[in-house]
Amino acid sequence: MKRLGKAISHYVDALSPEQAHLMHNAQNNEIFARAIRNLFSKNPAIGEYLLQHTNYLYIAREKAAWKANAGKPPLLIHVYLDDAAARAELNAYREWVLLELKKHGMHLDKMIIHTATLGMKERHLYPQAGKQSEAPTVGETNTANSEASADQNTPFQEDLHASEALRHETKMKENLKRAICMSFETLEQAEAFLSFIEDVRFDVVPYDYETQRGYPAFFCKLYTSDTERLNQVLNQQLCQTIISKARQLNLRLQSVHVYESHPEYRGKQAFPRFAL
């Protein structure tokens, strides 16, 4: 065993920087696939669906300005997917995926989900994923399940189907919009506030007691190109008011924070001119 270990060590040391980089990427890809499949072990069709639409991923330190006395910048994993429903599903389980990756030795601070565009959509990081069945739909039973006993659940009876997750996220955004409107004195003030928001993300609070009982709480992240102006308006009092109004609409928010928009969302509006 010692000889084998030395041989492997010598082999790795002999690799060129490009070869070492490729091997490192392959290891990361394998760990990600293993984490996804473990997380959805009870509903493997979901995991395969996500991997089927994963085009690329990489890990890097956050490039944004970082205080020197704050230690190392956060370590991020960037995941590119070519399907909106798959992106919504991965977003819904974002924190759980990070926890699963941690179990596999990959300690990451944050996951950034991107839309695969142009040539990126032609890549398929896991070409063998999802070969056994078509993209799943609500109530669909694949071949393996149809041969199983009638009392077994279909892959998506125990969990949100990807399209359901997308509808669920849309409903959450709608309730957030209503909560914000209820928090201002006039709709004109609310509309001005909403016009600065370019993207919204909801991250599950993983260790919340009610979350574990099936009533999840979320970290609400508002993305904008003008963080300074939005932060001026979103003071602590307004933040607590939004959280309170959202709770009335069955949307449990742990916190509301402002972040700099990712390049692909700059200039867009998360809430186009609305009608209540």
Residue 87's CB: how many other CB atoms inside 10 A?
A: 23
When mean pLDDT is compared across 5-9, 123-127, 136-140, the lowest value belongs to 136-140
Most confidently predicted of 68-77, 90-99, 154-163, 251-260 = 251-260
Q: How confident is the model at residue 164 (pLDDT cuts 50, 70, 90)?
A: low
234-245 pLDDT tens trace: 988 999 999 999
12-35 pLDDT tens trace: 455 445 544 455 678 888 999 999
Q: How confident is the model at residue 275, as a pLDDT? A: 39
- What average pLDDT is seen over the chain? 76
36: which residues sit within 8 A by CB, 6+ positions away?
Answer: 47, 50, 51, 97, 100
Round to whole Å and give the CA distance between 276 and 112.
31
Round to whole Å and give the CA distance between 103 and 101.
5
169-221 pLDDT tens trace: 788 888 899 999 999 988 889 989 999 999 999 888 776 556 555 567 888 99
For residue 272, pLDDT beyond 60: yes
